[in-house]
Amino acid sequence: MEKIKVIGAGLAGCEAAWQIAEAGIKVELYDMKPRKYSPAHKSPFLCELVCSNSLKSNETTSASGLLKEELRKLNSLVVGCADKCRIPAGGALAVDREKFSMMVTDKIKSHKNISFIEKEVRKIDLDGNIKIIATGPLTSEPLAEHISEICGGSLSFFDAAAPIVTAESIDMDNAFFASRYDKGNGEDYLNCPMDRDEYEAFYSYLINAERAPIKDFDVLAPKVYEGCMPVEVLALRGKDALRYGPMKPVGLKDPKTEKRPYAVVQLRRENLIGNLYNMVGFQTNLKFKEQKTVFGLIPALKNAEFVRFGVMHRNTFIDSPRILDEVYSMKNNSSIFFAGQITGTEGYMESVSSGIVAGVNAVRKARGVSSVIFPKETMIGALASYISDKSIKNFQPMGANFGIIPDFPEKIRDKRLKKEMMAERALKLIDKVINDENNS
Ligand SMILES: Cc1cc2nc3c(=O)[nH]c(=O)nc-3n(C[C@H](O)[C@H](O)[C@H](O)COP(=O)(O)OP(=O)(O)OC[C@H]3O[C@@H](n4cnc5c(N)ncnc54)[C@H](O)[C@@H]3O)c2cc1C
């Protein structure tokens, strides 16, 4: 049987390669790292988390929790490794990022059916052999140009990453451990409270601080992935926008004052040993020296040592509804699959989701059997259906959410109950897909 090429060993590419290899088919997996790095990738290991180390909620009544549970049922390599590298983060699944990437790399590189090739792919051979393109939102320029040619155009815009500080540089007299509403074990988040005067001084510096030059950023700002909106752009929505966003104080009480703070910056543990913390929701494109000054106005961070400042990057995706079908293969060339953020499935787990669907279906294509289309009532199927929905004209990337899953015929008023029912239905349908596959 022919080898399948997977290009890009990020979240989607590693997952796709694993699924193919586990099905007994040989894979050639390409990545340009460590010879060449995108502006956001820094680690020589595969499946790198370029920004947050949180894979979001683990509860099945949340969209991302449901997606993860579906992926677990399908033996996802990435979710399996994430579960093993988990660090405390309340109801979320956060991981020690280095341990996680190392574990995935080890599994991939030691699999007997996977050959890993360190190379920048600059062009896709349209030779009829099966390929999966999973080069992500920061696909290198020559390949991005070629993809644009074969897809009739691709888009670029910008995303942002948050700063990371050392634990020992945080002023603990002005910080306290607590999870909102006392969820989690109480040590997952380190909170940096601010009173009104401190917040106002911080706010007025922030909105006037100098940004790093990114051409046309203001024009492109509305297109920035909402979950990665730079804090200075969010602040421009109004004086209290941050207090309703990343700096919201609800569910927290400062043990020093016994009161809810006026505003709070939350820091989340970045690694298992807890010597690094990232600033939750503080993605930014400010100049580095401005970041040091403005974040230094947060009392707990007045002497903070930044091991990484926030940065902004290009983000590329194709116009999937015109190009892909619901198994992520090209409508006009079913040997070419796409997977990951480049398809517009936005987010780490969403990238894994498209990696699994593309991988499983690349195997079926190689065996000459019909595709498996995941039901729209599952989160995996709903994402696949969304990105291939021709009725969507101005396509923008989509993350997991219950709004893309078809409703029940009857009206269910209780929102929590409805999500529980949707999750139950979705997980049963995933079991059915697995049973059908085993019995075929
Ligand atoms: C700056 C930034 C921050 C983000 N933050 C978050 C976040 O906090 N949470 C979240 O859920 N999502 C986030 N995302 C969105 C998205 O989930 C991640 O980018 C995710 O890693 C995408 O997975 P992927 O497999 O599609 O691509 P990637 O994980 O980026 O993997 C692509 C791989 O392809 C390789 N590659 C690229 N070009 C070539 C080439 N020509 N030849 C060979 N190899 C190549 C790269 O080296 C890389 O290893 C962020 C995106 C960006 C850009």
Query: Digits of tens for pLDDT over the chain (440 positions)?
Result: 689 999 999 999 999 999 999 999 999 999 999 999 998 899 999 999 998 899 999 999 999 999 999 999 999 999 999 999 999 998 899 999 999 999 999 999 999 999 999 999 999 999 999 999 999 999 998 999 999 999 886 555 566 678 989 898 999 999 999 988 877 777 779 999 999 999 999 999 999 999 887 644 444 444 555 666 889 999 999 999 999 999 999 999 999 999 999 999 999 987 777 788 999 999 999 999 999 999 999 999 999 989 788 877 677 889 899 999 999 999 999 999 999 999 999 899 999 999 999 999 999 999 999 999 999 999 999 999 999 998 887 777 788 988 889 889 998 989 899 999 999 999 999 999 999 988 87
Please provide residue 313's backbone torsions phi and psi, each rounded to the nearest 5 degrees. Answer: -140, 165
Is the preceding omega at residue 397 within 30 degrees of 0, hence cis?
A: no
Q: What domains can be seen in the chain, in order of their start residue?
A: 4-158+315-439 (3.50.50.60), 163-309 (2.40.30.260)
Test site for ligand 1: of 14, 228, 280, most ligand atoms within 8 A of the Cβ? 228
Distances (CA, A) of 187 to 174, 178, 251: 16, 6, 15
DSSP assignment letter at 271: S
CA of 108 to the centre of ligand 1 (A): 17
Q: Write down the pLDDT at residue 215.
A: 46
Q: Write down the pLDDT at residue 226.
A: 61
Q: Write down the pLDDT at residue 51.
A: 86
Q: Write down the pLDDT at residue 155.
A: 58
CA of 50 to the centre of ligand 1 (A): 7
Please provide residue 346's backbone torsions phi and psi, each rounded to the nearest 5 degrees. Answer: -90, 120
Pocket lining for ligand 1, CB < 6 angstroms: 7-13, 30-33, 38, 40-41, 50-52, 120-121, 134-140, 143, 159, 161, 228, 313, 315, 340-342, 347-348, 351
- Residue 93: enclosing H or E segment and its boundaries? strand 92-95
Using DSSP's 3-state secondary structure scheme, residue 349 falls into: helix
Q: Which two tokens stand for residue 24?
A: 């007994």
- Residue 92: enclosing H or E segment and its boundaries? strand 92-95
Q: Write down the pLDDT at residue 269.
A: 85
Task: Tell me the C-alpha distance between 422 and 432, whole Å.
Answer: 15
Task: Tell me the C-alpha distance between 429 and 203, whole Å.
Answer: 48
In the block, tokens 């116009």 appear at 319
Q: Which atom number of ligand 1 is nearest to the Cα of residue 12? A: 25
Using DSSP's 3-state secondary structure scheme, residue 108 falls into: helix
